[in-house]
A and B are shown apart, each in its own frame.
Chain A
Amino acid sequence: MVSEGRGRASADAAGMEGAVVVTWAEFAEAAPDLAAAGLERIKRSEIVLVGSLRKDGSPRISPVESDIVDGDLMAGMMWQSKKALDLVRDPRCVVHTTVHDRMDAMGEFKIRCRAADVQDPKKRDRYGEVLFARIDWRPEGQFHLFSFDIESVTHLHYGDLKKHFTMWTPGSGLVTRVEDP
């Protein structure tokens, strides 16, 4: 369960009712094992899939690189790219880890989020530093930077011929379930 006062209502540019969201650091404090497994997955592939909404409300999937920067899950995007404009228009999104094959034993992480448009120069600098430390490159000029405020995290994987389901939300904490696939 998230500590008192950690969860907060998201500011929603699309005017929809705000969900309770937390930073990656707050999620990791509340559910350290799940967060560690998710982070390992994100770091291993260096790519995540971001699901966003087009102007007409239909879905879009975009691969992006993401990093944890001072406790926030972040992704930089090319200036005026379609996925970035999606997130500016409607911050509801899902960050999905890659799977290696149909039988991927590590399973999949689904992180439902609200994307926050990061304008703070200090945070943008820090993002550049973290990115440079990883790939020897940082964006120059204009670019979009989003931090992903987390509504829920779900981990699904298959093992022992069963489907293993773990979900964490700020309000309900960890819920686990094992089902026949």
Chain B
Amino acid sequence: MATWREFADAAPEIAERGEKRLRFGVAYIGTTAKDGSPRVHPFTPLIGGGKLLALIATHTVKYANLLRDPRYAIHGWLGESDEEFAIIGRAAVSDDWATRMQAAIEAKKINMTSKNDVAFEFTIESAHCAIWEGLGTPNIRRRAERWP
């Protein structure tokens, strides 16, 4: 598992493209419910201090799911030519003073308000980004890159 900074150091181009997809203020996080079935939730990723963070309210389904099973899938906002960015890894509560301050700084930049929440850090097992070339033509093809 890598922090966002470790991932960005190892795969700077993928991370740069990914950061663009995650900085729209909303992305999607996949979790697993108590019965093991999948769930998808919109959420607001925050990248700061070399960490991928989110403030997650304690009454939400995703909060309970991530505490029970920290495995997550995050899919970023779709870009031009249906550009995709997705990561998987583990989520962990990281609600210390420094992390909350970092999350608050990033949240302030996008006028995000939150209450009754806990800061989570998402460490990264793998990442992939993909772009469709030739959309609307017979020569359509998918170009994908993966890390590690």
Q: Contact residues of A with B, CB < 8 Å?
A: 47, 49, 51-53, 57-63, 92-94, 96, 98-99, 101-102, 104, 108, 110, 112
Q: Contact: B36 with A94, CB < 8 Å?
A: no
* Count of B interface residues, CB-CB < 8 Å: 28
- Chain B facing A: main interface SS: strand
Q: Total number of A-B contacts with CB less than 8 angstroms?
A: 78
Which of B7-15, B22-30, B47-55, B92-100 forms contacts with chain A? B22-30
Q: Contact: A49 with B31, CB < 8 Å?
A: no
Provide the residues of chain B in CB contact with A101, threshold 8 Å: 24-26
Provide the residues of chain B in CB contact with A51, threshold 8 Å: 30, 38-40, 73
Known: A47-B82, A51-B38, A60-B73. 6 other contacts (CB 8 A): A57-B32, A59-B72, A61-B28, A99-B26, A104-B26, A110-B40
Provide the residues of chain B in CB contact with A60, threshold 8 Å: 30, 38, 73, 88
Q: Mark B69-89, 1 if CB is under 8 A from A, else 0.
A: 101111100100010101010
Max count, chain B CB within 10 A of own CB: residue among A51, A53, A104: A51
Distance between A99 CB and nearest chain B CB, rounded to angstroms? 5
